[in-house]
Amino acid sequence: MFSPLLEGIIARENLPVINADTLDVFAKGNGDTIIFAVGDWKRHVEVNDVAVVLPELLKASNGALKAAVLERDSERKVQTRFRFSKYPSLIFLRDGAYLGVIPQVLDWGDYIIEINKILAGSPVPPPQYKFPEGCAPAPAKAN
């Protein structure tokens, strides 16, 4: 399911593994949260990088952030809900309401800047999904 490295981090850091049905219960009970949407670790080389960074982000927050790892079987449902397009992604919620997402891996300083921006904001609706360049549906033809 997860990479061996991430499995070890989940066990060592006692990170909960949640699914689409338990996400709201976790998020609403923990204030500012990070949901780690992993993706296929064999296809996305950044998965293990983000897995290593996640516990460090939690430590840097001095307990202000809680995190959970999303089960692979729930990824598409949660992706549709929060409208992110890349894996791995860190989804930020406040009491279950959407704050923002950080896709893929960043440099440490960039994580701190982006997380501070996200946490300084108020909950907002997830962004509209954007089709990749050249993949947008064709406009409807007039009759």
Q: What is the pLDDT along the chain (143 residues), one digit of tens a residue?
A: 899 999 999 999 999 999 999 999 999 989 999 999 999 999 999 999 999 999 999 999 999 999 999 999 999 999 999 999 999 999 999 999 999 999 989 999 999 999 999 999 999 989 886 656 666 565 656 65
Residue 140 lies in a domain: no
User: What single string gives the DSSP state of each residue in 83-94?
Assistant: T--SSSEEEEEE
Q: 38: which residues sit within 8 A by CB, 6+ positions away?
A: 2, 6, 47, 50, 51, 69, 70, 72, 75, 87, 88
Cis preceding-peptide flag for 125 (omega within 30 of 0) = no
CATH at residue 67: 3.40.30.10
Task: Report CA-CA distances (Å) from 51 to 7, 80, 121, 138.
Answer: 9, 22, 25, 38
Which pTM does this prediction carry?
0.88
* 84 assigned to some structural domain: yes
Give me the number of domains the chain comprises. 1
On whether the CB atoms of residues 17 and 68 are closer than 8 A, the answer is yes
